[in-house]
Amino acid sequence: MLQSYRMKTYELLAKISLVPSYLWDKLWSPIWKRAMHHCGKGVYLRPMSSDIKGLKNLSVGDGTSIPKGSTFYCTKATLTIGRKVVFGPHPTIITGDHRSDLIGKYIIDITVEDKLPENDAPVVIEDDVWCGANVTILKGVTIGHGSIIAAGAVVTQSFPPYSIIGGVPAKLIKMRFTEEQAKENDRLLYGE
């Protein structure tokens, strides 16, 4: 009985310990949303518990959920996240790369001014995408609407709508729907 009481007390204290972080995010979230290029309605964002750079290049659609622990770097190229996108814990999206071909310079000493245009490229995640835990999406990638990215995947290339992808590097595992089912889903969701 005493053991059960102690466990419940510790569980309650553990939950209470999460409140300050949640409230801090709640306080700053509206400011971060206004600093974005675009932020839709009903976006869930934990900015102070995440690492987000380049807000002016970040667009997020209605109803998207960006969890704490997110890492989004979109400093030189845009990151566009569609409507109703859901991320598992700790997603990483990076729209740029380091230049690594300069002779006589350490990579860490290469500045933003040294970068080439091809070192940065936009990332687009279309509507209704589910990204599993610890997904990494790199520059120049477009994920088609209705796709699912398996946990732990490293996405280095684009995929069409309704793809189920996974692996390192990510590859197409299968399509979510047949072509007819995809058309019907598009008609019902998007009026297409």
Buried b (16+ CB within 10 A) or exposed e, 80-98: bbbbbbebbebbbbbbbbe
Q: Is residue 1 pLDDT above 90, yes or no?
A: no
Residues for the chain: how many in total?
192
pLDDT, tens digit, for every residue of 97-150? 888 889 998 989 988 888 888 999 999 999 999 999 999 999 999 999 999 999
Per the structure block, which two tokens stand in for 111?
A: 């500045």
pLDDT for res 8: 83
- In one-letter notation, the amino acid at residue 30 is P
Q: Is residue 192 pLDDT above 90, yes or no?
A: no
**Catalytic residue list contains 38:** no
| Strand 171-175 relative to strand 163-166, pairing | antiparallel
Identify the residue with better confidence: 163 or 190. 163
What is the rounded average pLDDT of the residues 174-191? 93
CA 23-26-31 angle, 5° bins: 140
Computed over its alpha carbons, how large is the radius of gyration of the chain? 20
Catalytic residue among 37, 38, 90, 98: 98
What is the rounded average pLDDT of the residues 23-38? 94
Q: Is residue 2 pLDDT above 70, yes or no?
A: no
What is the rounded average pLDDT of the residues 82-90? 97
Q: Is 10 exposed, middle or buried (0-12, 13-18, 19+ CB in 10 A)?
A: exposed
